[in-house]
Amino acid sequence: MLELNHVGYTTEDGMEILKDITLKIDERFVAITGPNGGGKSTLAKVIAGIYQPTEGTILLDGVDITNMSITDRAKEGISFAFQQPVRFKGLKVRDLLRLAAGKDAKYSELKGYLEEVGLHAEDYINRELNSSLSGGELKRIEIAMIRARGTKLSLFDEPEAGIDLWSFNNLIQVFENMYQKINGSILIISHQERILNIADRIIVIADGEVSTAGSREEVLPKLLGSSEACSTLMEKLV
């Protein structure tokens, strides 16, 4: 379980981005949403260890990770996927997956992670992580890497950014499949209703604070304006 207790983040020039964030996250699939500039991505980076909180504490399964680096938090079980996946010149997909899964991982296991995210393993396992891969392909490879790590908390910052509609539709299927197989929690920062629609819990961050938090059934109708609007949207998305 991830616990944030009165977490705040203020930049070096004095700008307060996050204010008194207190949350407990133990559901399998949690979505964080809210207006642009509200602090969602900053919160994701504070959880991952890219930024250090200036106030409060962060616990992962009871372990205080507040002052841990991103590397140490990764060792404790947090994976972070950037909005724009990193390309590594000279590194092949199989190398990345083996780094994530461990050097003893079998070749068949590595291929299985690619198949899970909808990529034909034989077409991708030996490809380089370079500009020949589309944004959607890189997103799915990154998700395959996170699956290979098998971490307690998988954190995605706006995974829909920079990909086309076809890739986004495939991405939704990947997250639905991941939901069925993952042992830990998935935490996604997103504006997309289709992602919110498959979350167990939705947290709304606005002006650096938790505006509302609750189950999908409680929060999504409020975001859409009414229960009727929510029902109509869900029918379209099914």
- Of these ranges, 128-132, 161-165, 210-214, 228-232, the one predicted with the greatest mean pLDDT is 210-214
Q: What separation in angstroms does the CA of 104 have from each of 74, 81, 109, 143, 191?
A: 19, 24, 10, 20, 38
Residue 233 has pLDDT above 80, yes or no: no
Q: HEC string of the chain?
A: CEEEEEEEEECCCCCEEEEEEEEEECCCEEEEECCCCCCHHHHHHHHHCCCCCCEEEEEECCEECCCCCHHHHHHHCEEEECCCCCCEEEEEHHHHHHHHHCCCCCHHHHHHHHHHCCCCHHHHCCCEECCCCCHHHHHHHHHHHHHHHCCCEEEEECCCCCCCHHHHHHHHHHHHHHHHHCCCEEEEECCCHHHHCCCCEEEEEECCEEEEEEEHHHHHHHHHCCHHHHHHHHHHHC
C-beta separation of 155 from 94 below 8 A: no
CA distance 90 to 153: 29
* pLDDT for res 230: 45
Q: Which residue has the tokens 């999908």?
A: 216
> pLDDT by residue (tens digit) across 125-159?
999 888 888 877 888 888 888 888 878 898 988 88
> pLDDT by residue (tens digit) across 47-103?
999 999 999 999 999 999 999 999 999 889 998 886 555 666 778 888 888 888 887
Lowest mean pLDDT among 68-77, 127-136, 186-195, 208-217: 127-136
Q: Could you give the domains of the chain?
A: 2-237 (3.40.50.300)
- Of these ranges, 157-166, 186-195, 208-217, the one predicted with the greatest mean pLDDT is 208-217
Pick left, alpha or beta for residue 77 (phi over 0 → left; psi -120 to 50 → alpha; otherwise beta). left
- Residues contacting 187, CB < 8 A, separation 6+: 2, 25, 30, 31, 32, 44, 47, 153, 154, 155, 156
- Which of 42, 55, 54, 61 lies closest to 1 in space, CA to CA? 61
Residue 227 has pLDDT above 50, yes or no: no
- Residues contacting 235, CB < 8 A, separation 6+: none
